[in-house]
Structure 1
Amino acid sequence: MSAALTAICATGAQAEIRVGVLHSLSGTMAISETTLRDVMLMLIEQQNANGGLLGEEIVPVVVDPASDWPLFAERARELLTVHEVDVIFGAWTSVSRKSVLPVIEELNGLMFYPVQYEGEESSRNVFYTGAAPNQQAIPAVDYFLEELGVETFALLGTDYVYPRTTNRILEQYLLDAGIPQENIFVNYTPFGHSDWSSIVSDVTALGEGGQQVGVISTINGDANVGFYSELAAQGVTADEIPVVAFSVGEEELAGLDTGPLVGHLAAWNYFQSADTPENEAFISSWHEFIGDENRPTNDPMEAHYIGFNMWVQAVEAAGTTDVDAVREAMYGLEVPNLTGGTAVMLPNHHLAKPVLIGEIEADGQFTIISQTDPVPGDAWTDFLPESAVLTSDWPGLECGMYNTETETCVQIQSNY
């Protein structure tokens, strides 16, 4: 699919409901985002087969922002003003979401954002269906501390807002847990980085004193291919230096030789290996739709599944696609997730979801080794002093950044 706009319509349909799909289909993030375009098309096709929405056919309007962060803003404006979409499902990186944010707030658009992120945000115009740090990063660090006895941490990330903010939170969390500053190694690399030899060598050197080293990875996009390949090339096994990744799922592993990666970890809210009837049906529908039994599912796909179903419920409850009415209908909505249990939309525009830790298997799937009850997502972390005093409550306080000490609503969003 080209970078040009593509609208997929049912033949003969005179549809009025349009869903914008804003995912990179080219560039460094296409490895992760193309599948999210595909799953949105599947979900829309299924809804249309069930009668559409409010008696109308749903038309997906697909654009390619091409892993170009300013282009995300341009494409979002195009979707809202030229194509007049009723909702947008899109973005992966936080820098792309931050690019879209002022556009949808100016135009009162509505976006569902499906990927784990750094938190420290709660926009009136965004519903965050991926994990906040307390639903992924913090539980992963706890697993390293409590189950694996990690004493020295290498925080490796791509150089943009999500890794930098997440690692600020994790550094403070580790210091509070008694890990000395000298045992926390932090490194950032550009998008698409490919030469990992010296960085992996530096990480292995951290364990020369006999301490257990663990890697917390916020590496995004196709840079993961080079990183994991270099681990294998240097003979680094999970027993020696375990890696837990926040942006590597089944889709990213599909392009790798996973044999040397067996035992490394990922933290998400969903894995394809979840053994539930809902997940079995989802996987079956996906394979039928995509025409490939080997195409995996992953966590952000489940986030779109939850978000789309919640939006449909909210539109039906409101009787309209009007953004303000749909937003009001969203609070408290429940949708079965694919790992068992129910996802609930909270007043802070985040979900309550379970936290899962999975271990990479040779076939590119994950064995789930830890699963929690649903954890409410925090818009503002408790582990940074400037954020600990903030709360988000849109239906109650009409504010996403409320200072509980001064009892005032801060209008400017934090943007690290």
Structure 2
Amino acid sequence: MAVSESVIRDAIVLAVEQINASGGVLGKQLKLIGEDGASEPTIFAEKAQKLIHSDCVAAVFGGYTSASRKAMLPVFEDANALLYYGQQYEGLESSPNIFYTGATTNQQIIPALDYLKQQGVKSLYLVGSDYVFPRTSNAIVKAYAQANGIEIKGEDYTPLGSTDFSTIVNKIRAAGADAVFNVVVGDSLVAFFREYRNSGLTPETMPVMSMCVGEEEVRSIGPDILAGQLASWNYYQTVDSPQNKKFVADFKQRFGADRVTSDPMESAYTAVLLWKATVEKAGSFAVPDIQEAADGITVDSPEGPVSINGANHHVTKTARIGRVGPDGLIYSVWESPAPIDPDPFLDAYPWAEGITG
């Protein structure tokens, strides 16, 4: 998972350095202590224990896979500490000790499905890495499909880090679905899309809608392989706003002109800003004070305005469907007219009743 996780650390570093340069938080300079979860949930839990109990940190920012988050959750609840989890995920969870600043299901997966339906897609093939986020995401996709008259032509999973997709891609090609719904993550994406292209499948013949392909992954896979494919996120480097132009320029100045920004990086960066704003409203670094002050905290982030829902600790997000360009950047082809309120348990969707994480 390093291709996706290491760049998130860079975004958090940028936020902390900017906050310190502008005077810190409540007059205090922030000290960043970093630990490597090594793509292994048990190690994430061990490192969280260290950060909380040995380093006595004010808050933790990190985690990527849902498996890592679920491994850390009891650590934070037992210690009554705070984790800011900045990645999109499958929903169906809420904890007073976690702030979820990435998209939940109704801010990423459902907009992707709505878009495909509007484009006339009547059948899907589901593919994912074999852990909780892809499996739960696809359970939601299947429930949506049943309620909306979309046929599921097949469903396959592969272990994290897998590089052999020949059998799966052959099955996808033989199934003849209108589109592929892709929740493969990390290094496996390179092998999947190379096999996909080598098999003769194209965005024109069978487009892939990906939940985990951002600008950093496009660089790893290759724009020539991905051009024309679709993604569902809340942020792209190409978002046209003064806040984002400054974020991109600052990031490139700090880490290199050849670097790109992506949704997981932006939501991790925004998480630090939300924590700062909440601490300043509370006038305190204490966890109970932050929990009490969180509702309604809003920052004008690079993706747009983001507000904390105090009841479920998720945030409002603007949904964006993007298409990969030949230059390796992702360009919005649709976006929600306003930020979408988080609905992690899909209470507003009767067809989702009975789905569990």
1:129 deviates by 0.6
Cross-structure match for 1:344: 307
Match of 1:16 in 2: none
**Residue aligning to 1:11:** none
Determine which of 43, 50, 70 is the counterpart of 1:78: 50
Deviation by residue 1:25-46 (Cα, 9 ceiling, x = unmatched):
xxxx110000111111111111
Matching of residue 203 in structure 1 with residue 172 in structure 2: yes
Q: Distance in 2 between matches of 1:264 and 1:294?
A: 22
Residue 339 of structure 1 and its aligned partner are, at CA, apart by 3.5
What is the Cα deviation at residue 52 of structure 1? 1.1
Structure 2 stretches of 5 or more lacking a match? none
User: Any gaps of 5 or more consecutive residues in structure 1?
Assistant: 1-28, 388-413
Q: How does 1:314-393 map to 2 (within 5 A)?
A: 314-340=278-304, 342-346=305-309, 347-372=311-336, 373-381=338-346, 382=349, 383-386=351-354
Higher relative contact order (CA 8 A, sep 6+): 2
Counterpart of 1:344, as a letter, is S
- Compare CA radii of gyration and give the structure with the larger one: 1
| Structure 1 pair 323–164 and aligned structure 2 pair: CA distance change class (3 A) | same
Determine the C-alpha separation between the residues in 2 that align with 1:90 and 1:271: 20
Q: Which of 63, 77, 80 is equivalent to 1:91?
A: 63
Select 1:280's aligned residue among 245, 259, 263: 245
- Bigger strand fraction: 1
| Larger helix share, 1 or 2 | 2
Give the alignment's TM-score, normalised by structure 2: 0.96
Q: Cα deviation per residue 1:157-187 (whole Å; 9 max; x = unaligned)? A: 110011111111110110011124xx34111
**Which residue in 2 is equivalent to 1:21?**
none
Residues 55, 337 of structure 1: alpha-carbon distance in 2 compared, 3 angstrom cutoff: closer
Matched, 1:137 2:109: yes
Aligned residues: 352
* CA root-mean-square deviation: 1.2
AA matched with 1:357: I
CA distance in 2, matches of 1:338, 1:51: 21
| Structure 1 residue matching 2:220: 3-state secondary structure | coil
Residues of 2 paired with 1:266 and 1:67: CA distance?
A: 23
Q: TM-score, normalised by structure 1?
A: 0.83
Q: What letter corresponds to residue 136 of structure 2 in structure 1?
A: T
CA distance in 1, matches of 2:251, 2:150: 44
The CA deviation string for residues 70-115 of structure 1, in whole angstroms up to 9 with x for no partner, is 1111000000000000100010100000000000000001011111
Conserved? CA contact 2:236–2:263, under 8 Å: yes
Partner-residue secondary structure (3-state), 1:271: coil
The question of 1:188 aligning with 2:157 is answered yes
Look up the equivalent residue of 1:371 and give its one-letter code. E
Question: Kindly tell me: are residues 339 and 81 of structure 1, through their superposed partners in 2, closer, same or farther at Cα, counting changes over 3 Å?
Answer: closer
Offset at residue 256 of structure 1 (A):
2.2
Contact 1:237 1:261 in 2 (8 A): no
- Amino acid of the residue matched to residue 138 of structure 2? N
Aligned to 1:121: 93
CA distance 1:97–1:236, change in 2 (3 Å):
same
Deviation for aligned residue 1:198: 1.4
Query: Any conservation in 2 of the 1:237–1:260 contact (CA below 8 Å)?
Result: no
What percentage of residue pairs aligned between the two structures are identical? 39
Which residue is 1:160 aligned to?
Answer: 131
Contact 2:11/2:265 (8 A) holds in 1: yes
* Counterpart selection for 2:230 from 254, 265, 272: 265
* SS of the residue 1:85 aligns to: coil
The answer as to whether partners of 1:152 and 1:206 remain within 8 angstroms in 2 is no
Structure 2 partner of 1:31: 3
